[in-house]
Chain A
Amino acid sequence: MPNLDDAYSLAKWLSGNGTDAEDIVQEAAMRALNALERLTVDNPRAWFLRIVRNTALTWIAKNRPKAISLAGDMTDLELREDLALSEPAADAEQILIAAEDGESVRRAIADLPSPLKETLILREVNGLNYREIATATESPLGTVMSRLARARAAIAKSLGATR
Chain B
Amino acid sequence: MSDAPRQEPDASLRANAAIDGELDAANALQFERDLASDPALRALHARIGAASEAVRREAPKERAPAQLRARISRMVEVQEVRPSRAIRFAHFPRALAASLAAIAMIGALAWTFRVADSGDDPQMQALVSGYMRGQVSGQPFDVASSDRHTVKPWLASRVTLGAAVVDLAEAGYPLAGGRIDIVDRTPVPTLVYRRREHFISVSELPAGRGAQPWRGSIDGFHVERWADSERAYVAVSDLDASDLSAFVEAFRAAQRGAAKGDPVPAKP
| A binding-site residues for B, Cβ under 8 Å | 1-9, 12-13, 18, 22, 25-26, 29-30, 32-34, 36-37, 39-45, 48, 73-75, 77-78, 85, 88, 90-93, 95-96, 98-99, 102, 105-106, 109, 115, 120-121, 123-126, 129-131, 134-135, 139-150, 152-153, 155-156, 159
CA distance A139 to B100 in the complex (A): 28
Given A1-B107, A42-B112, CB of A142 within 8 Å of CB of B135: yes
Other 10 A-B pairs with CB < 8 A, given A30-B95, A37-B97, A92-B49: A1-B73, A4-B106, A32-B101, A92-B46, A92-B50, A102-B58, A125-B61, A140-B238, A152-B55, A159-B51
Contacts of B102 in A (CB 8 A): 33
B21 to A, closest residue via Cβ: A129
With the chains together, A105 CA to B58 CA distance in Å? 7
Inter-subunit contact B219/A95 (CB<8 Å): no
The answer to whether A88 touches B47 (Cβ under 8 A) is yes
Please, what's the 1-or-0 string for B69-96, where 1 marks a CB less than 8 Å from any CB in chain A? 1011101100100000000000001011
Residues on the A chain within 8 Å of B222, using CB = 140
Question: Which of B9, B113, B114 has most chain A Cβ within 10 Å?
Answer: B113
Q: Which one of B12-20, B163-171, B185-193, B257-265 contacts A?
A: B12-20
Q: How far is the CA of A67 from the CA of B139 in the complex (A)?
A: 39
Q: Shortest beta-carbon distance, A12 to chain B, in Å?
A: 6
The distance in angstroms between the C-alpha atoms of A1 and B61, with both chains bound, is 13
Q: How far is the CA of A120 from the CA of B48 in the complex (A)?
A: 12
A33 touches B101 (CB 8 A): yes
Are B62 and A9 within 8 A (Cβ)? Answer: yes
Query: In the complex, are the beta carbons of A85 and B12 less than 8 A apart?
Result: yes
Contact between chains at A1 and B64 (CB < 8 Å): yes
Contact (Cβ within 8 A) B75 A155? no
B68 contacts chain A at the CB level, 8 A cutoff:
yes
**Subset of 30 A-B contacts with CB under 8 Å:** A1-B106, A1-B107, A2-B107, A8-B62, A25-B64, A25-B72, A33-B76, A33-B79, A33-B102, A40-B114, A41-B104, A44-B105, A74-B2, A92-B47, A96-B53, A105-B59, A109-B59, A120-B55, A121-B59, A125-B56, A125-B61, A141-B132, A142-B135, A142-B238, A144-B220, A145-B8, A149-B48, A152-B16, A156-B47, A159-B51
Nearest CB in chain B: distance from A55 CB, A: 13
Known: A85-B8, A90-B47. A143 touches B22 (CB 8 A): no
CB within 8 Å for A106 and B47 given contacts A44-B105, A148-B16: no
- Residue contact B58 to A26, C-beta cutoff 8 Å: no
| Least Cβ–Cβ distance between B245 and chain A, in angstroms | 15
Determine the chain A residues whose CB is within 8 A of the CB of B9 once the complex forms: 85
- As a 0/1 sequence over residues 1 to 38 of chain B, the CB contacts with chain A under 8 angstroms (1 = contact) are 11111101100110011001110000000000000000
A36 to chain B, nearest CB (A): 4
What are the residues of chain B within 8 A of A124 when measuring CB–CB?
52, 55-56, 59
- Distance (whole angstroms) from the CB of B247 to the closest CB of chain A: 15
A149/B55 in contact, CB under 8 A: no
| B266 at interface by CB-CB < 8 Å | no
Interface contact B51-A155, CB-CB below 8 Å? yes
Q: What are the residues of chain B within 8 A of A141 when measuring CB–CB?
A: 132, 135, 219-221, 238
Within the complex, the shortest CB–CB distance from A54 to chain B, in Å, comes to 15
Q: CB-CB < 8 A to B56: which residues of A?
A: 124-125
State whether A25 touches B68 (Cβ < 8 A).
Answer: yes
Q: Which residues of A contact B76 (CB under 8 A)?
A: 33
B223–chain A nearest beta-carbon distance, Å: 12
A18–B219 Cα distance when bound, in Å, is 31
Q: Are A22 and B113 closer than 8 Å at their CB atoms?
A: no
Chain A residues with CB below 8 A from B54, complex form: 95-96, 98-99, 105, 155, 159
- Please state if A125 and B16 are interface contacts (CB–CB under 8 Å): no
Leading 7 A-B pairs by shortest Cβ distance? A134-B220, A142-B5, A40-B113, A99-B54, A92-B46, A140-B238, A74-B1
Q: A33-B101, A85-B9, A152-B48 are in contact. Are A131 and B220 (CB under 8 A)?
A: yes
